[in-house]
Amino acid sequence: MELPDGSKEAPLADYMVSSVDFVGWDSDLSQIVEYFDAKGPKVDFAPVAGRSGEIVDVVARADVETLRGYPRLLGGGSVGPDGELMVGAAIGTRESDKVRLEPLVKAGANVVVLDSSQGNSIYQIEMIKYIKRTYPKLDLIGGNVVTMSQADNLIKAGVDGLRVGMGSGSICTTQEVCAVGRGQ
């Protein structure tokens, strides 16, 4: 990208907008609209701060306008029993993913999703059993499944939730490669 001065490189700080203004994570739509109205048309994004003041999200003016036009889309973030935003993470089914899991749990992840195009594999079932044995209170979502027997296998292994559907992603080749799949 060529910059206004014709150069092709510049420090990011020269183009960043500094802001000490933010909206709280528990702000409702009307409060966010007030924020944008007060800032004027040049401000397109609002940082969202958590209870401790750290930035946890960003709200775009365009998203707010969409929600104003389609209010049924409005929903809050997932909040846990402690009143804090819930956090999810995805891992695979390889041995190296067991190493990745510990820091995710220590950082406060509330739920882990096993990311696998075909969830009814021995690799996923073994990973489910490992996670439930190691972190029994961690919510775990397994899948993808399309049949009752696949779902039953993962439920018996210990999952708390299921991803249903297989091969429906825009770049997913599961249906072509494995000759299995069904859209959600």
Select which of 172, 174, 175, 180 is catalytic: 172
State yes or no: pLDDT of 182 exceeds 60.
no
What is the per-residue pLDDT across 111-154, written as a single tens digit (0 to 9) for each? 999 988 778 899 999 999 999 999 999 999 998 888 899 999 99
Please say if 178 is a catalytic residue.
no
Cβ burial 118-138 (10 Å sphere, 16+ → b, else e): bbbbebbbebbebbbeebeeb
Domains of the chain in start order, with CATH, are: 12-69 (3.10.580.10), 88-178 (3.40.50.12600)
Mode of pairing for the β-strands spanning 55-60 and 45-49: antiparallel
What's the confidence (pLDDT) of residue 75?
A: 60
- Asked whether the beta carbons of 150 and 120 are under 8 A apart, the reply is yes
Helix (H) or strand (E) holding 58: strand 55-60
